[in-house]
Structure 1
Amino acid sequence: MAVTRLVGECEKGTCATLYRVDGTVDLLVQGYDTTDAETAGLDVPAGETVVRIPAEIIERYAREYLAR
């Protein structure tokens, strides 16, 4: 699967980042592990996970890709 980096918390390196799966409209999110306390009350099915990302990443994505 090929991906394109859209926006991230930092310009380069390994940080919270939003990617597009090439040839699709699907997105991948790289974020921070959460603890059980942070996700208490969420019903997360097997095969899924919850990650935390800074809101700025979604805001930048909306400005740069959805406002076109």
Structure 2
Amino acid sequence: MDPNEITNKGGEKGTFIVHVQYRQNATWQGEVVWAEKKITKSFRSALELLKLIDSALEQTDTEEAEKRRKL
């Protein structure tokens, strides 16, 4: 799939592009891109990948809550 096509199809809370570079020790290593913010982070395990995505979504929820408070 073309990367531009992926970034144009965004998720409701966030869009993450996962590039698995290696598969060692029964887990994944690679990079994840948070498409909306154009932030790239490396991960060394599937668990670390999930934690990165979770923290990004928590940040999104916090930003949305702050916007609602300001209204």
Same structural fold, with TM-score higher than 0.5 when normalized by the shorter chain = no
Structure number with larger C-alpha Rg: 2
More helix by share: 2
The structure showing larger relative contact order (alpha-carbon pairs under 8 Å, at least 6 residues apart) is: 1
